[in-house]
Amino acid sequence: MKKGAKRKAASQKQEENEVKASQESQKENLKPLPKAKRAKTSKPQSQPEFFEDKRNLEDLWKAAFPVGTEWDQLDSVYQFNWNFSNLEDAFEDGGKLYGKKVYLFGCTEPQLVPYKGENKVICIPVVVAVVSPFPPSDKIGINSVQREAEEIVSMKQMKMDWIPYIPLEKRDSQVDRLIFQIFILSCTQRRVALKQMKIDRLKKYEYCLPYFYQPLKEDELEQSTEVQIIFPAEPKPVFCEFDWELDELEEFTDKLIEEDELDKDQKNAFKEFVKEKVREAKKANRQAREARKKALEEMSQETKAAFENMRFYKFYPVQTPDTPDVSNVKAPFINRYYGKAHEIL
């Protein structure tokens, strides 16, 4: 090979190497640059938050269903932060309910009470505690002025039942290992389903009263000689009370006619209606006496002792700056079945 040809070949090879090196350099330049590390900024230290510890029985009064309260009034019951520390304290050492088996139910009492400088009608929550070794009753009474007859039905028919209350400190424990001291009357009827409920069924909840029958003493109904009369007259029904021992039916009817409460043409029909109601009431009284007598004959001494020692305690909210003052409206009366509480707290 000639010397000129060798120089030419060497020159071409050098150019190829330079082009290759240039391409490699461009590839390197096209690679993404490594991300720069963000400088860590120290978070400002927040002030520690302090929460007041929940009391062990703080929600006990809310857990007891307020029997007989109108559904549209339930929210108004809880509009205030009512304080039932007196109920909580009763379960502490030295309290009225300490170490005892207790059954609780709620109710409400609309009262005119002072609040923030003016008198207002407030739906006051009340809790009744029944000290008893067994449930005081498994029935509910349904009664009102508007209803012709009283009904005594099973609690379960109204979706109510006694269920155990678990204190806050024991809610992480295994339920089957707990020994329950407190039972509450609960209702599982969902408020969202009320719109589909028939009016009569809906109203029954508003007329409910926790039922109790004390077999050791004669019931007031067994002694009563009065009957509630709702006579379906035209143009309006006749509402009255008739006492078959004190009232004379003829005079009673004539007085209603004089007062324009009853039309003269309906006199005989009204008298027959009253006589039928009196017969029904006398029969009910007789059956009640017979049932009580039979129950006493079949009752064990242990059960008799339990009824004799049964105690009712009625708890009202404790006065606080944020709630209405209910101190002047406290009353021992519970309802027509339970009568009066042994003590008000």
Which residue range(s) make up the domain with 190?
59-214+310-344
| 40 pLDDT above the threshold of 70 | no
Domain count, the chain: 2
207 and 95 both lie in a single domain: yes
Residue 80, domain member (yes or no) = yes
187 and 253 both lie in a single domain: no
With bands split at pLDDT 50, 70 and 90, how would you rate the model's confidence at 304? confident
200 and 324 both lie in a single domain: yes
120 and 238 both lie in a single domain: no
Please give the structure tokens belonging to residue 263.
């039309």
**pLDDT tens per residue across span 290-300:** 877 887 888 88
Residue 331 C-alpha from the chain's centroid: 21
Rounded average pLDDT over 73-84: 85
Rounded average pLDDT over 154-179: 78
Residue 66, domain member (yes or no) = yes
Please give the structure tokens belonging to residue 311.
């105690």
91 and 186 both lie in a single domain: yes
Task: Report the CATH number at residue 254.
Answer: 3.10.20
Residue 117, domain member (yes or no) = yes
245 and 197 both lie in a single domain: no
Residue 24, domain member (yes or no) = no
Phi, psi (degrees; rounded to nearest 5) at 231: -90, 125
| 52 pLDDT above the threshold of 90 | no
132 and 187 both lie in a single domain: yes
Encoded amino acid at 40, one letter: K
242 and 272 both lie in a single domain: yes
99 and 228 both lie in a single domain: no
Between 329 and 148, whose confidence is greater?
Answer: 329
192 and 336 both lie in a single domain: yes
For the chain, give percent helix, strand, coil, nearest 5: 35, 20, 40
Q: Which of 256, 214, 216 is nearest to 233 (CA)?
A: 256
Please give the structure tokens belonging to residue 152.
């005594």
**For residues 124 and 109, what is the distance between their CA atoms, to the nearest angstrom?**
5
Identify whether the C-beta of residue 234 lies closer than 8 Å to the C-beta of residue 163.
no
Average pLDDT of the chain is: 79
